[in-house]
């Protein structure tokens, strides 16, 4: 079986390795436009901030080593231009030589990812504008900071990547401003969680321009719509990505309401010989079964395993997605799984909320922390619908326990009965997760 893979970052390189293990006698060719193979995009803000000193630590393997160890043909700097579904071929351009050639396939896997959105800013001129989507984007930001020694910047967009960039620009000693059209940071989360994150940013001297936008730029001066103008040395934009689905559209593969490539539970498109994984794939929500697109690393890795098992003739199905995610912001950690209060309201789902705010572990222990934990649940069935947490310690543990409880179809009341590990450095006799179960009663 000859398998072609389009896209050689997280999803593409992972599915190639999974297929080699699952289908050992297959021929695998991996195409990627990016000159770097399979790097960890989630680590890029921390390289910019200097926490990770060597950028090459993000790269799991060189193309040569990856190819030799796994017997996979790796062709970086190659752009797949078109898919001919009838002939089962793709048209590929070598981006260095401009040579175009045709490659046949038995199975084709698409892992195209997305393209960073760039704001249309009037008068940008010579003011540098950066996005952070690729290894090259990261290198450009680092090179600029080290070469030009800027003093200030503005970040447009207060989502996950935006706040991680802000933290790391602050670590680099840059006076940093957040510009966001919304009324608060991290609108994906409940307002109560966002408020804690906003205060943490304020305590670390981040300037806020909420419900505002850049009207125009004059030299280095940002002329804001609300009239509070200020100077910056550069701008970093983090306003989301557009899914890179043009190749799929031109091949007449189905595109869903999330603008992702529609797949079944085995990651097959409407063409059973073509699969899609990663950011560009449209899966389903765990609770509603409605189309859902999650641009995170965990789904891409799980989907890679699903595809490999299906190709090996030993299929398992992809579960619906919870969208479990976590991020660091200065001294705090914030995480969520499942639905927020807003998404439940938007879906017309009635729910109750249990809240715990207090210590993460024994107060008499020197290194005790605090946490705010919110859990939404169906008041009739008592099933857990989502959870969010923010704190300075133990947030990851609590969100992961609750994500497991959701997938195990436990009720919010069952949380009180969970026998969780207790020792003063780590928890209390009644863990915050237990407390949510008691409070929900």
- Residues identified as active-site: 42
CA angle, residues 67, 73, 74, in degrees to nearest 5: 75
Contact yes or no for 185/163 (Cβ under 8 A): yes
Laid out side by side, the sheet with 221-224 consists of 214-218, 221-224, 230-231
Length of the chain: 441
Contact yes or no for 13/109 (Cβ under 8 A): no
Question: Among 236, 235, 237, 232, which residue's Cα sits nearest to residue 219?
Answer: 232
CA atoms of 203 and 198, how far apart (whole Å): 9
Contact yes or no for 138/48 (Cβ under 8 A): yes
How many alpha carbons lie under 13 Å from residue 365 in its C-beta half-sphere? 15
CA atoms of 437 and 413, how far apart (whole Å): 5
CA atoms of 412 and 418, how far apart (whole Å): 11
Question: Among 266, 247, 262, which residue's Cα sits nearest to residue 307?
Answer: 266
CA atoms of 115 and 113, how far apart (whole Å): 7
Helix (H) or strand (E) holding 164: helix 160-171
């Amino acid at each position: 079986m000859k398998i072609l893979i389009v896209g050689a970052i997280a999803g593409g390189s992972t599915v190639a390795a999974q297929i080699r293990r699952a289908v050992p006698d297959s021929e695998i060719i991996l195409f990627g436009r990016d000159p770097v193979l399979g790097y960890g995009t989630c680590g890029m803000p921390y390289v910019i901030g200097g926490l990770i000193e060597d950028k090459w630590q993000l790269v799991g393997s060189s193309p040569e080593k990856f190819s030799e160890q796994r017997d996979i043909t790796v062709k970086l700097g190659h752009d797949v231009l078109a898919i001919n579904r009838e002939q089962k071929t793709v048209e590929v351009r070598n981006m260095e030589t401009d040579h175009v050639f045709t490659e046949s396939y038995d199975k084709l896997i698409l892992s195209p990812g997305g393209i960073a959105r760039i704001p249309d800013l009037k008068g940008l001129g010579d003011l540098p504008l950066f996005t952070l989507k690729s290894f090259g984007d990261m290198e450009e930001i680092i090179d600029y900071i080290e070469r030009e020694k800027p003093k200030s910047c503005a970040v447009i967009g207060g989502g996950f990547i935006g706040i991680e960039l802000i933290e790391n620009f602050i670590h680099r000693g840059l006076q940093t401003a957040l510009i966001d059209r919304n009324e608060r940071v991290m609108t994906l989360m409940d307002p109560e969680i966002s408020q804690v994150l906003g205060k943490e940013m304020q305590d670390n001297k981040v300037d806020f321009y909420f419900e505002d936008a850049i009207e125009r730029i004059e030299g280095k001066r940002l002329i804001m719509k609300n009239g509070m103008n200020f100077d910056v040395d550069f701008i970093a934009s983090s306003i989301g990505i557009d899914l890179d689905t043009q190749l799929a559209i031109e091949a007449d593969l189905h595109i869903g309401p999330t603008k992702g490539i529609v797949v079944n539970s085995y990651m097959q498109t409407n063409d059973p010989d073509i699969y899609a994984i990663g950011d560009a794939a449209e899966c389903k929500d765990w609770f509603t079964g409605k189309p859902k697109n999650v641009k995170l690393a965990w789904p891409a890795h799980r989907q890679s395993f699903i595809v490999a098992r299906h190709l090996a003739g030993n299929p398992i199905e992809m579960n619906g997605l919870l969208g479990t995610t976590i991020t660091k912001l200065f001294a705090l950690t914030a995480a969520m799984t499942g639905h927020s209060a807003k998404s439940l309201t938007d879906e017309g789902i009635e729910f109750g909320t249990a809240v715990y705010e207090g210590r993460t572990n024994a107060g008499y222990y020197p290194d005790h922390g605090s946490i705010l934990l919110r859990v939404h649940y169906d008041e009739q069935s008592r099933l857990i619908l989502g959870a969010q947490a923010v704190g300075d310690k133990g947030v990851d543990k609590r969100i992961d326990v609750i994500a497991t409880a959701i997938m195990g179809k436990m009720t919010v009341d069952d949380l009180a009965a969970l026998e969780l590990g207790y020792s003063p450095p780590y928890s209390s006799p009644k863990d915050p997760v237990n407390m949510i179960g008691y409070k929900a009663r």
